[in-house]
Amino acid sequence: MEILKVSSKSAPNSVAGAVAGVIREEGSVELQAVGAGAANQAIKAIAIARGYLAPSGIDIVCIPAFASVVIGDEERTAIKLIVEPR
Amino acid sequence: MEILKVSSKSAPNSVAGAVAGVIREEGSVELQAVGAGAANQAIKAIAIARGYLAPSGIDIVCIPAFASVVIGDEERTAIKLIVEPR
């Protein structure tokens, strides 16, 4: 599954466009966010992507889970949001 | 649908317990969060609640959307996360 990394500086509209594109092509996508700001942008992106996909009859939902990622030398907990059609 | 308001100071484990309880009793629940910290806690709570409900064969997903809420005299944009079994 393709992984899109989202940061607190990511523009939700751009991420939403990427989510919609990957969903159309591959059927599902994973967003990965480290930190509250990043998780917030990821959630907004999914809400916006729902609007991009709804006219095509694609109703996406998200499944939140935890993941460990290594940033530099540090292990951090990331939130992963698996996005799939219902 | 019952609405659980989540703040940046909410403990994800406690919110997860509440989510699991309402899902078992009513089938679905809405989490409402204003601000990045609150949205982050809400997402964590859903990830944890998945673990509480999975042993009963309940596989929950979330549907993010925007909502307008009035706090004091100000209108703020909240994130609402509708949580339902798949």
Predicted pLDDT at B43: 98
Write the CB contacts of A47 (distance below 8 Å, at least 6 apart in sequence).
B64, B65, B66, B79
Helix (H, G, I), strand (E, B) or coil at B37: helix
Indicate the pTM of the whole model.
0.95
Which stretches of chain B drop beneath a pLDDT of 70? none
- Terminal CA-CA length for chain A: 17
Q: Which of B8, B35, B46 sits opposite A64 (nearest CB)?
A: B46
Burial of B9 (0-12, 13-18, 19+ CB in 10 A): exposed
B5: β partners: B32
Reduce the secondary structure of A17-30 to three states and give it as a string.
HHHHHHHHHHCCEE
Contact B4, B29 (CB under 8 A): yes
Q: Can you tell me the ipTM of this complex? A: 0.94
Specify the pLDDT at position A78: 97
Burial of A5 from C-beta contacts in 10 A (0-12 / 13-18 / 19+): middle
What pLDDT is recorded for position B82?
Answer: 98
Query: Tell me, what's the pLDDT at B60?
Result: 98
**The pLDDT of residue B81:** 98
Inter-chain residue contact B79 with A46, CB threshold 8 Å: no
Name the residue in chain A with its Cα closest to that of B62: A62
Closest of B67, B53, B51, B60 to residue B83, by C-alpha: B60
Residues of chain A under the 70 pLDDT cut: none
Residue-level pLDDT at A36: 97
Q: Kindly identify which residue of chain A lies nearest to residue B39, measuring between CA atoms.
A: A40
- Nearest CA to A83 out of A60, A54, A50, A59 is that of A60
Per-residue model confidence (pLDDT) at position A45: 98
CA-to-CA distance for A75 and A79, rounded, in angstroms? Answer: 13
CA B32-B33-B39 angle, 5° bins: 125
Q: Which domains does chain A possess?
A: 2-85 (3.30.110.20)
Residue A18: per-residue pLDDT: 98
pLDDT value for B64: 98
pLDDT tens, A71-81?
Answer: 899 999 999 99
